[in-house]
Amino acid sequence: MTLEKLKGPGQLVPILATRIGYQVDYEIHFPIFEREPGRHPTPNHPCASKCRVRSAHDHMIPDGRYFVHVGVGQIHQVKSIGQKVHYFATR
């Protein structure tokens, strides 16, 4: 099993409609499971083996559910609990 690593700058936005957004640096690792011979392995995006989201300006991120906007059309759902971030899904 290998890992696909996504990392870089993004924006963290609460799921509930607020006007708050955080500029963050994120790092998400997805396992890639081997497939049939002759086919390329594909990432398993419903689960992540590691998820790290840090404020780009050292702000504290309150507990709650968030969307991480990492690029055009790429949105990941995470939950912050006690300064740890848990990965939920890709949209």
- pTM for the complete prediction? 0.75
pLDDT of residue 11: 93
pLDDT of residue 23: 93
CA distance linking residue 6 with residue 51, whole number of Å: 10
CA distance linking residue 70 with residue 87, whole number of Å: 14
Extract the tokens encoding 32: 């890639």
pLDDT of residue 25: 94
CA distance linking residue 77 with residue 66, whole number of Å: 6
Q: Look up the domain containing 28 and give its range.
A: 2-90
pLDDT of residue 58: 85
Asked if 44 and 30 count as a contact pair (C-beta separation under 8 A), the reply is yes
pLDDT of residue 9: 93
Asked if 26 and 8 count as a contact pair (C-beta separation under 8 A), the reply is yes
Query: Running along the chain, 91 residues long, what does each successive block of 10 average in pLDDT?
Result: 83 89 89 64 60 87 90 84 82 59
Number of structural domains found in the chain = 1
pLDDT of residue 66: 92
Residues 6 or more apart whose CB falls under 8 angstroms from that of 84 comprise none
